[in-house]
Amino acid sequence: MKTQTFQNEAEWLDARRGKITGSRLKDIITKRGTGKKMGFYELIAERLAVKPDDERPIDRGHRLESEAIERFVKETGKKVDTSLIMWVREDDESIAISPDGIIGKTEAVEVKCLSSALHIKAIITKAIPDEYEEQAIQYFIVNDKLKKLYFVFYDPRFVKHDYYCLEFTRKDFQEKIDTYLAYQRDTLAEVNQIVSDLSF
């Protein structure tokens, strides 16, 4: 065993980056048959990305969204409209999505400027983090003409791999599109009934 001594807490916190510590072990160990836990991706991110700041993820996302779209345009050559719009279903305006960018009526861009761990997880797994899958599906639910969704991940804290883009078509989600649309219709019918019953 080797002992390290630190002058202050900032030094101590910096020394912990990219290491499995006692408090992090629970975020690393997986049970048989399960995938990697978030601690695995945090270790990689801490070794590859610059040190994180105190900026809230939602603030970073707003700040970097236009930069990410510019990068997408540079990478793809596509012209993206970033007007502040909302798409609603033609048969039910209560089912909607606000695209980060649109390319005509058949393509859209969704940008995510996530934690470095989630960013690197998307790159390694080549998949949308679970908590954002429904958002991707909603694009296809709302716009029946949508052919392709570009799901852009952007994190300039990485010297390499700061940009990553996944492409999805309707067939990638068709079963879930049908299921989630039916679920939304049932939910809205129930909400409308309760509102009607409680309105005097």
pTM (2 d.p.): 0.78
Per-residue pLDDT tens for 91-107? 988 899 999 999 998 99
List the one residue out of 155, 180, 187 whose CA is nearest residue 68. Answer: 155
SS3 50: coil
User: Average pLDDT, stretch 24-37?
Assistant: 60
Average pLDDT on 66-94 reads 93
Lowest pLDDT segment from 65-69, 124-128, 188-192: 188-192
Tens digit of pLDDT for each residue in 154-171?
999 888 899 999 999 999
Q: Which CATH class is domain 56-198?
A: alpha beta
Q: What is the pLDDT of residue 22?
A: 47
Is the per-residue pLDDT at 16 higher than 80?
no
Residue 91 · residue 130 · CB < 8 Å: no
Q: Is residue 52 pLDDT above 90, yes or no? A: no
In three-state secondary structure terms, 180 is helix
Q: What are the residue boundaries of the structural domains of the chain, listed by start?
A: 56-198
136 pLDDT higher than 90: yes
- What lies within 8 Å, CB to CB, of 102 at 6+ separation is 80, 81, 83, 85, 108, 109
